[in-house]
Amino acid sequence: MMDFENQQIITELLPRMETVEYEPLKKNFLWMSLTQNAIFLVVLFAIGMIFTLTMFLSTFFMSFLKMIGIWLVLVIGLVLLTWFGFRVKGYAVRDRDITYKTGLIFRSVISVPFNRVQHCEIRKGPFEELFDIAKLKVYTAGGAASDLSIPGLDPARAESLKEFILKKTEEEDEEE
Amino acid sequence: MKKSDTNPYPQPVRQAPAAIFVLVFERFWSLFVQFLPLLIIFFLAGRAQGELVFLVFALASAVISAFLSILHYFRFHFHIKSDSLVITRGLLNRTHSSVPFERIQVVNFEASVIHRMLNVVKVVVETAGSGSSESEISALKKSDAIALRDYLLAMRDSAVEESGEDTELETEESTSGYIGEKIFSLSLLDLIKLGVTNNHLRTAWAIVAIAFYWWSQYWVYLDDPGDIPYFPMLENVFDSLVASFVIMAILGLLAASAVLSTGIVIIRYFGLRVLKVRGGLKVSAGLFAQREYSARNNKLQIFYWSTNPLRQLLGLYSVTMAQASSEDGMGNQSIGIPGCSIDQVSMLRNQFFKSDSLEPNIAYKPDKRMIGRYFIFFGLIPVTLVLLIIYFFISQWVFWVFLALPFILLAIVVYYRKLELRINHEVLYLKKGIIEDTWKLIYLHKVQSVELTQTPYMQQRDLVNFRIYTAAGSILLPYIPLKDAVILRDFILYKVESSRKGWI
């Protein structure tokens, strides 16, 4: 039963993570992120306006231009980050583990084997509801930092993924 | 063994009568702690008008809580059924909790001062699984408690064997009973040695900070001589006064630190004994409150041992066994043994790791470029910030701050040279440290997840930070080449996924 523990592992023969194809998130996640950014930017704009109107009334026009300038830089930066950040995000499901990669500037790839999954859940906030997407959270015993969460899944896909993972986890438990 | 075959508690019984005192005392103590701020305010404010009201209130709560504690004693019953430990408690809302044998992880004893005066122990039954993970019996006679524990653990083992789990663990050892053989203990002299050789670096930093404060005050005065009357002949006296004061302060603080840490070590680890029991180790220690900890083979996640140069001279190492507390892995339980010889370290390690599991292995080291990057993040940037702060707020004479840079660089180089990860077919082994050296040992199959992260700099140079999460903390190996990291990840995932051994 435990024979394989003594087998020599030739690293070339290991299942390679690099060869997997990452599945992208649902496009609606991008629209949702952009909407959230837009709301944030509008609020920021309003605060900036109030600030400019009250503090720099004497030099209103110049201050207004400066503010608009800073604001536009923020808008472009955030949109670019969100747009390209979305294209980097992706997940891959293999027979025995799940991997999620994210981060445009600071990259991160995290892999969780199914036989270490504690439980998983689907989350839907008001925004997710609006854009018809769901977030899948996979919990391990390694603490919050080691948990894996995939945003922007199609709700049906999230549900089937969750069931797949739970089925895998149960199978592993039975084998043990 | 035979003794533990008969159920010591077939019928519901109460705890030892001493439990009344224990419960009342614990209630009083928690009341006292709650009222402490009020008491302090009263004493500080002198005679307040509300004194009498307060006194009556405090007395009333004391009487009521004593009464409630006594009631609780009479309403608390426990007994052992054929498959579980059953505890019934509660005054009005009766709570029945039953702990199935197979879910029992460990049975620990704890004894506070009051327990020891009455010669009883508190029994804590820890279980695996989420939700309420502990059941407690406040006070039992020591002999009864041992009988209870032996019976529970024997029943647990047979229940577990029946369900066919944990087979690997239970067949490993067949030491008779659970009392176990003593592996080693620490004498008072050992503890004093440990206290004196404690890591005083933190204290040293505090001393440096305080010395710096004094010193900067002094310089500010000199920059602005108008503040103090200037006595030329007194200047030297003043100078030497400050200097001697600083030296005395440093010596005093070092001595205070040594005394303090010796005191803490003695209080925490007085009478430390390590016993070998079935399926793990048992550690008991404590001056005022003697505690007993169990380190079970399957719960152990990371085994650490470390030493500093002072302790290395005396041949002393400290050992930490980081465990997952329950199956949901929330929080972790670490058991520390503050001092043992290198032989004892390997003896302890052999309890959990087969000696051949440390055999030939592949080593991974960070890339050299780590030194430069760490020097920017931990050297240049902080030093520049400190320099700017001092320049603008304290004194213009700041260039001595740069003196810190060589030391920081030295520390980073030492850190880089010591940092190393070794891996073989069963374990992963990390060595790190600057002044204090630490070795960490993990079974590959206990890994929970693997994460690779990259900053933009690392993306361009194909380097990654490699992090491994376990149920009791994570391990980081920074700046390793991407191709090594990918192989490491594939290998560790393969080991985890193909392992039939549980991680808890």
Average of pLDDT values for A11-27? 80
Give chain B's mean pLDDT.
80
Amino acid at A91: Y
Nearest to A17 among B490, B502, B504 (CB): B490
Question: If you measure CA to CA, which chain A residue comes closest to B329?
Answer: A141
In a domain, B185, yes or no: no
Question: If you measure CA to CA, which chain A residue comes closest to B324?
Answer: A141
**To the nearest whole percent, how much of chain B has pLDDT over 70?**
81
What is the pLDDT, as a whole number, of residue B327? 47
Nearest to B328 among A9, A118, A145 (CB): A118
> Quick one: DSSP state of residue B394?
T
What is the pLDDT, as a whole number, of residue B176? 34
Provide the CA B362 distance to its chain's centre, in angstroms: 30
Using the predicted structure, report yes or no on whether residue B284 has a pLDDT greater than 60: yes
What is the pLDDT, as a whole number, of residue A111? 93
B320 vs B189, B265, B283, B308, B323, CA distance in Å? 21, 15, 12, 15, 9
Using the predicted structure, report yes or no on whether residue B328 has a pLDDT greater than 60: no
d(C-alpha B404, C-alpha B205), whole Å: 13
Size of interface A-B (CB pairs under 8 A): 113
Spell out the domain ranges in chain A. 29-85, 90-175
Dihedral over alpha carbons B283, B287, B291, B296 (to 10 degrees): -20
B303, B440 in Cβ contact below 8 A? yes
Residues of A in contact with B499 (CB under 8 A): 115
Nearest to B132 by CA among B163, B96, B161, B108: B96
| Tally of structural domains, chain B | 4
Mutation to test the B interface, candidates A8, A10, A139, A140, most B Cβ within 10 Å = A140
B74, B24 in Cβ contact below 8 A? no
Q: Which of B21-25, B447-451, B464-468 has the lowest mean pLDDT?
A: B21-25
Helix B381-393 × helix B404-418 angle, to 10°? 160
pLDDT, tens digit, 9 for 90 and up, residues B243-257: 777 778 777 777 877
Q: Which of A167-171, B1-5, B108-112, B305-309 has the lowest mean pLDDT?
A: B1-5
Residue B153 burial (CB count, 10 A): 21
What is the pLDDT, as a whole number, of residue B263? 84
Nearest to B425 among A9, A17, A140 (CB): A9
In a domain, B172, yes or no: no
What is the pLDDT, as a whole number, of residue B100? 79
A142, B449 in Cβ contact below 8 A? yes
The structure tokens listed for A92 are 């891959």
* Cβ pair A14:B471 closer than 8 A: no
Q: Which of A71-75, A157-161, B114-118 has the lowest mean pLDDT?
A: B114-118
B410 and B423, same domain (yes or no): no
Using the predicted structure, report yes or no on whether residue A4 has a pLDDT greater than 50: no
Q: Which of B113-117, B232-236, B334-338, B363-367 has the lowest mean pLDDT?
A: B232-236
More confident residue, B222 or B425: B425
Q: Does A141 touch chain B (CB under 8 A)?
A: yes
Give chain A's mean pLDDT.
85
Average of pLDDT values for B259-286? 83
Using the predicted structure, report yes or no on whether residue B287 has a pLDDT greater than 70: yes
pLDDT, tens digit, 9 for 90 and up, residues B42-73: 666 655 556 677 778 878 888 888 888 888 88
Using the predicted structure, report yes or no on whether residue B410 has a pLDDT greater than 50: yes
Average of pLDDT values for B138-162? 84
Nearest to A96 by CA among A168, A10, A148, A150: A168
* Cβ pair A142:B452 closer than 8 A: no
Strands across the sheet containing B95-100 = B77-80, B84-89, B95-100
* Cβ pair A108:B451 closer than 8 A: yes
What residues contact residue B337 under an 8 Å CB cut-off, 6+ apart? B272, B274, B283, B318, B319, B320, B348
B305 and B453, same domain (yes or no): yes
Using the predicted structure, report yes or no on whether residue B232 has a pLDDT greater than 60: no
> Quick one: DSSP state of residue B465?
E
pLDDT, tens digit, 9 for 90 and up, residues B16-28: 888 888 888 888 8
Nearest to B500 among A96, A118, A176 (CB): A176
B115 and B219, same domain (yes or no): no
Select from B269, B299, B330 the last residue of a domain.
B269
Using the predicted structure, report yes or no on whether residue B234 has a pLDDT greater than 90: no
B256 and B284, same domain (yes or no): no
Using the predicted structure, report yes or no on whether residue B465 has a pLDDT greater than 70: yes
In a domain, B68, yes or no: yes
B49 and B156, same domain (yes or no): yes
A15, B490 in Cβ contact below 8 A? yes
In a domain, B176, yes or no: no
pLDDT, tens digit, 9 for 90 and up, residues A41-52: 999 999 988 888
- Extended strands (E) in B325-462: 332-340, 362-364, 420-423, 427-433, 437-443, 449-454
DSSP string, A7-40: SPPPGGGSPPSTTSPPBPPPHHHHHHHHHHHHHH
* Cβ pair A146:B449 closer than 8 A: yes
B344 and B379, same domain (yes or no): no
Select from B225, B244, B269 the last residue of a domain.
B269
In a domain, B228, yes or no: yes
A89, A153 in Cβ contact below 8 A? no
Q: Does A21 touch chain B (CB under 8 A)?
A: no
B70 vs B18, B35, B58, B181, CA distance in Å? 11, 21, 18, 39
What is the pLDDT, as a whole number, of residue B456? 92
Question: If you measure CA to CA, which chain B residue comes closest to A169?
Answer: B497
* Cβ pair A143:B469 closer than 8 A: yes
Confidence of residue B210 (pLDDT cuts 50, 70, 90): low
B297, B169 in Cβ contact below 8 A? yes
B331 and B226, same domain (yes or no): no
Using the predicted structure, report yes or no on whether residue B219 has a pLDDT greater than 80: no
In a domain, B170, yes or no: no
pLDDT, tens digit, 9 for 90 and up, residues A87-136: 999 999 998 899 999 999 999 999 999 988 888 888 888 999 999 999 99
Mutation to test the A interface, candidates B326, B445, B449, most A Cβ within 10 Å = B449
B21 and B160, same domain (yes or no): yes
d(C-alpha B387, C-alpha B400), whole Å: 9
Dihedral over alpha carbons A6, A10, A13, A17 (to 10 degrees): 100
More confident residue, B2 or B208: B208
Nearest to B496 among A16, A107, A115 (CB): A115
What is the pLDDT, as a whole number, of residue B174? 35
More confident residue, B502 or B408: B408
To the nearest whole Å, the CA of B169 is away from the closest chain A CA by 13
**To the nearest whole percent, how much of chain A has pLDDT over 90?**
53
B287, B265 in Cβ contact below 8 A? no
The dotted CATH code for A90-175 is: 2.30.29
Nearest to B197 by CA among B335, B314, B305: B314
Using the predicted structure, report yes or no on whether residue B476 has a pLDDT greater than 80: yes
The structure tokens listed for B240 are 């030497």
B179, B4 in Cβ contact below 8 A? no
Q: Does A138 touch chain B (CB under 8 A)?
A: no
More confident residue, B127 or B376: B376
Select from B269, B300, B335 the last residue of a domain.
B269
For B199, the domain range is 193-269
B299 and B160, same domain (yes or no): no
d(C-alpha B383, C-alpha B222), whole Å: 25
Q: How many Å from the N-terminal Cα to the C-terminal Cα in chain B? A: 26
* Cβ pair A140:B449 closer than 8 A: yes
**To the nearest whole percent, how much of chain B has pLDDT over 90?**
19
Question: B120-127 and B332-340 as β-strands: parallel, antiparallel, unpaired?
Answer: unpaired
Nearest to A11 among B454, B491, B503 (CB): B491
B205, B303 in Cβ contact below 8 A? no
In a domain, B458, yes or no: yes
B352 and B432, same domain (yes or no): yes
B395 and B474, same domain (yes or no): no
Average of pLDDT values for B377-385? 93
Q: Does B497 touch chain A (CB under 8 A)?
A: yes
B205 and B217, same domain (yes or no): yes
Using the predicted structure, report yes or no on whether residue B461 has a pLDDT greater than 90: yes
| Alpha helix stretches (DSSP H) within B292-378 | 309-313, 342-352, 369-375
Confidence of residue B128 (pLDDT cuts 50, 70, 90): low
Confidence of residue A9 (pLDDT cuts 50, 70, 90): low
Mutation to test the B interface, candidates A116, A137, A171, most B Cβ within 10 Å = A116
To the nearest whole Å, the CA of B416 is away from the closest chain A CA by 23
What is the pLDDT, as a whole number, of residue B326? 52
